[in-house]
Structure 1
Amino acid sequence: MTAKKKPENDLAGPFGFKPYKVKKGEEYMNEAQEEHFRAILKAWKQELMEEVDRTVHHMKDDAANFPDPNDRATQESEFSLELRTRDRERKLIKKIDETLNLIDSHDYGYCVACGVEIGIRRLEARPTASLCIDCKTLDEIREKQMS
């Protein structure tokens, strides 16, 4: 018995959202598309905010003054890693907010470097993308050359 492969359109995207189905002749970044990405970004932000709350509760509940220096060091190392992760997520939340502002001003979905459409599929893969794939590739090449 062979399993039927799901069509690409039925696969769930980020946070369980179905990929946006572009209708023939549909204008790029119309109201429906903006709402689709607004919902994805808000769900992503909500998930990150919940993770922040879990971290705060975890650190409060698990904080202990271990007499053994090794146990204390392990706990401090774990907390440090969690805090670094939350700091990255804090920056991501800021970027999500900036992206939501772009949607509100109807500037979302266009490359900030060259102005071309970023593309629905790229935005679904990375909703906070601000560069088209070509500009992002050039950016990464420049970054490699500088380091």
Structure 2
Amino acid sequence: DRCPAACRSWSSSALAASPAPSEMDNSKTAAFVQKEWNENVLPSLMDFVRIPNVSPAFDEAWDTNGLQMQAFELVTKWAEAQQLENCKVELVKEAGRTPLLILEVDAHESERACMLYAHIDKQPPMGVWMEGLGPYEPAVKE
């Protein structure tokens, strides 16, 4: 199991069962986060950067070139692969409209609902790039 139940669930009971911050092993937590970043997040983020999907305001062919759907499908597959408890993932596409990705995580009965909104398309690359770098070729710089 990649992530303990307390990571996958927002329920109060799961969080209550988690160790208090003073009882956590910071080195194990840091190692887990670093491994997850290196093996799961960073490769997916780099794949996302490689897709030249820009805002429809800057791409007349956005609805026919497949780049929007390629980006949405990548993010959808990544979200599904996280196997979050009580999470429904739905990709909605209507003709002539940009796709919509809905991730719904059931709220615990004692918790308030929360909605987050974000864009999956990108702004167009503008300006001059540093030598060897480009808008759709990811690079990790230390």
TM-score by length of 2: 0.29
Decide which structure has greater strand share.
Answer: 2
Based on CA coordinates, which of the two structures has the bigger radius of gyration? Answer: 1
Decide which structure has greater helix share.
Answer: 1
TM-score by length of 1: 0.28
Higher relative contact order, structure no. (Cα contacts within 8 Å, ≥ 6 residues apart): 2
